[in-house]
Structures are given as structure tokens and as C-alpha cells.
Structure 1
Amino acid sequence: MTTGYRPEIIQRAFVDFVGSRLHPFWSLTTPKLRLIARQTINEELVALKFEANQAFKRLAFTIDDSWHGGQHIHLTVPIEGINHQRSYSLVGMFPQPADLHDAIFDNNAKNAVNDSASNNLCATVTIAIKPQGLVSDYLTQQAPLGTVFDSSLPSGDFTLADTSAKLTKQKSELSRSKQSPLLFIAGGSGITPMLGLITQALAQSRTVTLLYYHRTSLAKSPFQAYWQHLATAYPYFAYYMVNTADPNNYSSQLAGSRHLDVDTLSLLPLSLAESTIFACGSSSLLAGLYRALETLSLPSDNHTLAPKRSLRDNVIVERFGTALPDSDMSLGTNEETADIAVQTVYLRGRQQQFSSGTTLLLGAEQAGIRLSYGCRQGICQLCRCQKISGVVKNIQTGKLSSHGVESIQTCINIPMTDVILDV
């Protein structure tokens, strides 16, 4: 009798098809999440809690693995018959940290599914969303509790494990300690990937300092209660909140400035030379960080010919989102690296135009114009189109395009001048 390939008598795809007709949450192969609770964190962020199906749990973990803070998932969200895919940072995942859940979610809140699944913390996934744009507004305000969404598995390398390996490789000559202090610098919704990272770092007894720039009142929010709870529970955790919209609310311990600068970093109670710095926020926040670190760069060893070492080598920047990468940010006042100016984008084939100060794809969507896209991370190439004229900048590499005809991806390029696209 011959051996080799043997087709399945009943294929899993067929079982999934039948199962989805019986219950949309059932699947052998497709990770799915069911929305079971919402909680407003502050004026900028809303936390969403999901129940994970068996396929998600089986595929996301092995016996020895657990989730990594700083990762994200891709959600497929159907709106008016069209599937939209967006990436969101993970705040927590099973096994969910109880402290995090209790601090963010009100157990008596009305915006939760009242069944056993909503109380089963061993099968939940939590994300935080800034309500902006079509999909985020739908998830935070309109999607009925109990709605099921297809999901990717957790991914991303903005994690303690991966970044530790990278820094060790980059600076092996420094014999860097794996338990170096950690400094987290975030602005606005850039705090979302930090939540899981900080939780895991404290669980590992790491020394953690958080510097968070925001524009909303946190006095009565669950967010503020969470940070205070951590500061009380962990003596090696310190946090500093800087409300950039209220001059009376700047931290006196940080020189009373609403901008990230040399004085601010110098006053933090930790050694920057020994610290790993995680940063996520706007282009102006990251530019200020790099300018300050260049000023504070360490002198070279007089006994060697090695060049002066920069503290920028200690920085790990989250590439998820539309923040500019570190390239050229130290130039400070350079017009191409300051806050991105709004440019006009012309769609030659559609006889339309829109203004954009962010990626071309997001700018079009904010103007109500649909462009082709897939992963929104610069991977799948589905958003690629021809640029006829103008200069764009790749937010992943920092590379500027030419002025002429060039094939670009709209999800990872921002306009530096007026741009014409053949779309």
C-alpha cells in the first residue's frame, strides 16, 4: 500500500464553515475575539476587553509561553459590509494581571456582558484605543457588546525580551546588565504599548520610571489610580505625569516644562547611561528626546580611540503607528523633522485631493477617501501605488523619496511636500 499525502476526510475549513453558521465564535483555525466590556481610561483612551476563542488560545501559546507586553494584534472589523483591518496595542492578555484589570475595569460598570465569560479572566484580551477615525469610533462607541471579530495572533518586537537581545548585540562591549533600569517615555496614546511592558517589568523586579506627556485631566481616571497603585505596591516604580495643556499642572520635579528636554531628563532619578529607554509618541516628542540625548552623550574613553558614545543607542522606539523613526531627528530645527506640516495630496486618477499631516493612507481616510490597503504595517504591499511627483518620507526607515515617479506604500509614507498619486 502506498504512503504519502492523505487528504483529510473532513477538512477543517469545512468544519469551520459549518461551525460559524451555528455560532460565529466557533473555529478550529481562525483566532476570534468577542467584545465583552468597555471602560473609558481618560479623554484620549478607551479600554476594550475581549473573550478569546479556543483557536486563539491554542495558537497563541504553548505550555511554556506567555504573552509579551508591547505586542499588538490586528483586528478585522466589518462596517457596512466592508472589512477594515487595524492594529491595536495589547494592554493585557491571559493570564491577565489582576491588578491591571481591577484598576482599569469597573466591575459594576454597565458596559460589560453579564455572563460567565466576562468574569473569566483566564480567557481575556485587553486593548486600549484612541477614539479617532472610522474603525476606532465604531469599536469604542457603536459595536454591540458580544460582537465577534477575526483577529491575528500577537506580534511585534517592542518587548522586554526582544529589545534586551538587540541592545546586548548592539553594545556587547559594554557588558550590559540584563537587569538595567528601564525608562518609559510616552506621549498621548503612545502609552498603550507601555502598559503591558511596565506590568511585566515590575513583575520581574525591574527598576521602572515612567514619563508620560498628556493633554487631559487624569485626576479622577482609572489610569491615575492604576499608576498610583503600582507606585504603592512596587517601591522601585516612579512615574511623572506632565499635562502639556495646563501650565499649573507641570511637575515641579521636572523643571516645570511641558517639553521633553535636557533639564527634564537630567532631573530623573536614574542613570541614563545604564538605562534602557522605551519611547512611543509624536514626532515632536521623539525629536525632543533625541536632541536631549545627543546633548547628554557620554564622552569617549581617553584610553581608546573609540568615538563618543551616544545615549541614543539606549533607545528602543515603537514602530507601530505613525511616529517618525529616529533617523535625522537629532537635527532639531530641520523643517523635515519637526512637527510634520500638512501637505496637499492630489489623486490624479480620481480628480480628488486631500490634506495630510500623517501617513498618506490615514490622511485619505480622515478625508473620507478610501484607498487600497491590507496589513497597514508596510508588509503586504496591497497599498502600493505610483507617486507622480512630490517628496514623501518612509516612517519605518526615515528615507526620503525622489521628486519624480516612484512606487510607494501609502500606509508607511508621509508627505513632505505636495504630492500627486496615480490613484
Structure 2
Amino acid sequence: MPQLTTNRFADRALDLVHSALNSRLAAALTYPHGVDRYVEQFAPTFALREVRAEVIATRHQTADSVTLTLRPNRNWQGFAAGQYVRLTVEINGVRRTRCYSPANSVHAKDGLIELTVKAHGDGFVSKHLKLDLRVGTTVFLSQAEGQFALPEQRPDRILLISGGSGITPVMSMLRTLCDEGHKGKITFLHYSNAASDQIYLDELAMINAQFLNVELLRAYNEDQSGELQGLFSREQLIKAVPDYADAQAFLCGPPGMMKVVQKVWADEGLSDQLHLEHFTAAPVVIDSANAEGEVRFIRSERLAKNSGATLLDQAEAAGLKPESGCRMGICKACTCIKTAGKVRDTRTGEISDAGEAEIQICVSVPVGTVTLDI
């Protein structure tokens, strides 16, 4: 009871401080930089509205991954199992944003966030997170986003399918269901190159042993230590999960694998029972031979011949450094004003009108001459 009373007083004190710093007087005294800029000098994670978090632990489950434990500030509103956040880190004075899914249960009582990141060979941000991010560093987060999530009414039969680092959102789903004491059958089907590459290998084995309603199926392409071997196929699915048509399936993994899984469900008329998430950009075909017009960067007073690439790539080729993040149309960090001209959205193929509009330049290709306020 004394500890509870102390926590209440501490929360009340924080409420009073937050209210005072959010006042008009505080805003006037700290103009033009704002309260956060001053307070962060001695309390880096403090912000009136922005979600910031302190890195309190890092661990390496595999040779090419890092698991970050983050303590968010009081602005964090939580998440649904399966959703993602936009993580922003500062690297050499430039803020970079990428999307990652929390892997912890939504019922974790410590209020922490767990992100597991696989460092790809050409992954500028992921390699920084694995090699250079230190305990004590402050990072920036969005609130949780995305429609890929467990429904509030939990399905009786659940099939979780993941590949590689796509395990993180479905791991959150599994941990959440276990914390809730879910009684329905859960099959966890995961694909990796080898056991040494699998994230959460030991914990999954423990969950499988502890919860009788959880079936763990691990498929490896390079060794035979899993319950299955090789890549996903319809034949393998029928043999390993014969009742898959009765399940609500949740899928996250590399594009090639996801495409094969989607086709199986589509061919059998089960697409409504397959829920999926991925953060891979659609490939951009650069058609320089048929590209016409030019790209005008009016604020920078620069002009470039349209190369057929995305506007972000063309801006960088022109020597500009517009803000960007995920480079796949998710984080919206690259949004800017198109003052004139038409653009094609690389994700949908849709062509905009020629008037002024906000566009995401990482997924926009100019159709003729385009003018940007950059």
C-alpha cells in the first residue's frame, strides 16, 4: 500500500508538471523553439505530445539481429498485437525513420516495448540499430498504426505464418493470446534458412511445451532440425496443417513467400480468412527512355531532366536532401507539396491531377514536368 500511494503522488506530480509546461505562458517563454527543445536537455524523453523512448537494453538473438527494449514516455498509447510503429533515430545528425512491429504482448505489465530488427546487408538504419545504438539513447516513435492486428473477438482457430524477421508481429499475437489464456487451437508456422537464423527460437519452444493448444511448426531450408523442411508449398501446408481452411490466418514474411501463400488461399476462395502485413516497397521500374519533361525544385531553384525514377531519387540525384524515412510510402516523412504537374503512385499506378497537392515523393514518379516545393 505505501508503494501504491507513492506512485499516485508521483503520477500527480508529473501531471502538474506536464500541465504547467503545456501552458500558454510556457509556450510564450520558450518561443520559437518550444518547451520540448529546452526540457530535453536534462530530460531527453520528455515531450508534451511526441512519443519518445529510452533504449534500456539490447540483445542479439541471432548473428544478424538485435532486440531493443524501449521505455516510452507517458505519451505512448499502447498498441494492438500485430500493429507497427515508426521508429526514428538520429544518425550523423540526420533523422531516419523505419517501420517495425512490437513483438511483446499487449498485456506486458512493465509498459516497455520490444522491437526486434534484422540487419540487412544494405540496411543503413538496421545496421546502425544493431551495431551502434547504445543503451541510454533516446529514440522517437509514432503511435501504433496498421490494420494487421488480432481482432477484438479472438478467433477459435488461429494459424500464424511468418518468415524471417516477419516473425515479430505474429510473435506479439502469440504472446498476447497466451497471456489471455486463449483456449482455441493455435498453429505457429515459421520459415527460416536454418535454426541458427530463427529469432525467438528458445521462447517458442518453451511456449510450445507449456501451452497444450499451441502447435509449433518450424521449417528450415538449410538443415533438418525443424518439424518441416524447405519452402512453403500447398502440399506441405495440407500435410502439416490439414484444417487450415477452418482457421483465421495471419501472415508476415518476405514478399516471395507471401505471394505463394496468398495464391494458395486465393485459389481456394479463402482470401477473406488471410490477414497480412509487410513493409516491402513495390519495385519501381525506371523507364528513362520514355521519361519526358523535367523536375523543378522551386525552393532550391534547381532543375533536372526527368529520369523516370521516383521524385525522392531524382531530388537526391540533384544534390538535395529532402527528409525521408521508410522509402516505401508508409512513414510519410517525405511528404511535400507538388505545386504543378502529374505524378504516378508506384504502389497503385494511379495518376494524380495536375493541381497542387501533398504527395509522398518516395512512391511518386513524375508524368511529364512536375514542380515541387523543395
**Is the structural similarity TM-score above 0.5?**
yes
Flag the 1:229–1:362 CA change in 2: closer, same or farther, 3 A: farther
Instruction: Judge conservation of contact 1:280–1:323 (CA < 8 Å) in 2.
Output: no
Q: Which residue of 2 aligns with 1:223?
A: 200
Q: Which residue of 1 aligns with 2:51?
A: 31
Distance 1:196 1:316 in 2: 15
Q: Which residue of 1 aligns with 2:280?
A: 322
| CA deviation string 1:269-322 (max 9, x = no partner) | 352232101111222212211222244x2xxxxxxxxxxxx111101111x511
| CA deviation string 1:353-392 (max 9, x = no partner) | 799xxx9869999xx9955436841757716779999987
Counterparts of 1:22-421 in structure 2 under 5 Å? Answer: 22-53=42-73, 55-56=74-75, 59-60=76-77, 67-92=79-104, 96=108, 122-132=110-120, 133-161=123-151, 178-204=154-180, 205=182, 206-215=184-193, 217-219=194-196, 223-244=200-221, 246=222, 248-249=223-224, 254=228, 256-258=229-231, 260-295=232-267, 297=268, 310-318=269-277, 320-322=278-280, 350=304, 372-373=323-324, 376-377=329-330, 382=335, 393-394=346-347, 399-401=348-350, 409-412=360-363
Instruction: Judge conservation of contact 1:283–1:323 (CA < 8 Å) in 2.
Output: no
| CA deviation string 1:230-264 (max 9, x = no partner) | 101111112222223x1x4385x65x542x22112
Distance 2:339 2:62 in 1: 40
Instruction: Judge conservation of contact 1:387–1:420 (CA < 8 Å) in 2.
Output: no
Residue 178 of structure 2 aligns to a residue whose secondary structure is helix
Distance 2:197 2:250 in 1: 27
Distance 1:88 1:294 in 2: 27
Deviation at 1:352, TM superposition (A): 9.6
In the comparison of the two structures, how many residue pairs are matched?
Answer: 324
In structure 2, give the amino acid aligned to 1:29: R
Distance 2:40 2:344 in 1: 47
Instruction: Judge conservation of contact 1:34–1:52 (CA < 8 Å) in 2.
Output: yes
Flag the 1:138–1:361 CA change in 2: closer, same or farther, 3 A: farther
Q: CA RMSD in A?
A: 4.2
Residue 103 of structure 2 aligns to a residue whose secondary structure is strand
Q: Which residue of 2 aligns with 1:21?
A: 41
Q: Which residue of 2 aligns with 1:169?
A: none
Instruction: Judge conservation of contact 1:371–1:383 (CA < 8 Å) in 2.
Output: no
Instruction: Judge conservation of contact 1:384–1:410 (CA < 8 Å) in 2.
Output: no
Distance 1:411 1:39 in 2: 32
Deviation at 1:92, TM superposition (A): 1.9
Residue 202 of structure 1 aligns to a residue whose secondary structure is helix
Instruction: Judge conservation of contact 1:187–1:212 (CA < 8 Å) in 2.
Output: yes
Distance 1:362 1:95 in 2: 41
Deviation at 1:150, TM superposition (A): 2.4
Distance 1:213 1:370 in 2: 38
Distance 2:171 2:98 in 1: 19
- In structure 2, runs of 5+ residues without a counterpart are 1-22, 296-302
Instruction: Judge conservation of contact 1:31–1:153 (CA < 8 Å) in 2.
Output: yes
Flag the 1:78–1:289 CA change in 2: closer, same or farther, 3 A: same
Identity of aligned residues (%): 21
Distance 1:76 1:370 in 2: 17
Deviation at 1:229, TM superposition (A): 0.6
Distance 1:278 1:290 in 2: 11
Distance 1:91 1:387 in 2: 43
Distance 1:360 1:213 in 2: 36
Q: Which residue of 1 aligns with 2:12?
A: none
